[in-house]
């Protein structure tokens, strides 16, 4: 059960982050953070 909840939260979190990045056009500034 915990794995399912974790996967669900991770999916929602990534979806929300992607949506925010698209709306704010912050993708270029957020990519370096993920790489580093």
Tens of pLDDT, residues 7-30? 999 998 888 877 766 666 555 655
Quote the pLDDT of residue 15: 84
For residues 21 and 5, the model is more confident at: 5
Quote the pLDDT of residue 8: 92
CA 13 – CA 25 distance, rounded (Å): 17
Quote the pLDDT of residue 6: 92
Three-class DSSP category at 16: helix
Neighbours of 11 (CB within 10 A): 10
On whether the pTM is more than 0.75, the answer is no
């Amino acid at each position: 059960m915990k794995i399912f909840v974790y996967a669900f939260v991770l999916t929602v979190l990534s979806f929300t982050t992607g949506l925010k990045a698209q709306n704010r056009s912050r993708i270029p500034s957020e990519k370096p953070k993920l790489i580093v």
